[in-house]
Amino acid sequence: MLFNTLLGLNVLCIGLYFYVLISQKNKNYYLSILIRLMTLGLFGLVIFDRYETQNHLIVLLLSWVGFESMEQFYTRKKSSSVK
């Protein structure tokens, strides 16, 4: 139950971060740090066998990869527009 709640909150924060990137065209560093810390905490719960289902791990990995790819896309897009 705790893992599902934290994972849902993490996905909600990632969606909010994506909305901020699109609407305001700038990064929110506090939200980015919060997402990374929550992801590390969730990985810790998975590593210490608190939640051993593979579905939790797969969803966590997909949300992390989605967040990091969004970060890279924004950075690449911003650097190409500066040139």
pLDDT (tens digit, 9 = 90+) per residue, 25-34? 777 788 888 9
Query: Cα separations (Å) of 60 from 22, 74, 76?
Result: 23, 21, 24
pTM value > 0.85: no
d(CA 39, CA 35) in angstroms, rounded, equals: 6
Q: Which two tokens stand for residue 21?
A: 């990137």
Please give the pLDDT value at position 53. 74
Q: HSE, CB side, 13 Å, CA atoms: give it for residue 83.
A: 5
pLDDT in tens, 44-73: 888 877 666 788 888 888 999 988 888 888
* Mean pLDDT (the chain, rounded): 83
On the question of pLDDT at 80 being above 80, the answer is no
Q: Which residues of 12-44 are buried (b: 16+ CB within 10 A; e: fewer)?
A: ebbeebeeebeeeeeebeeebebbeebbeebee
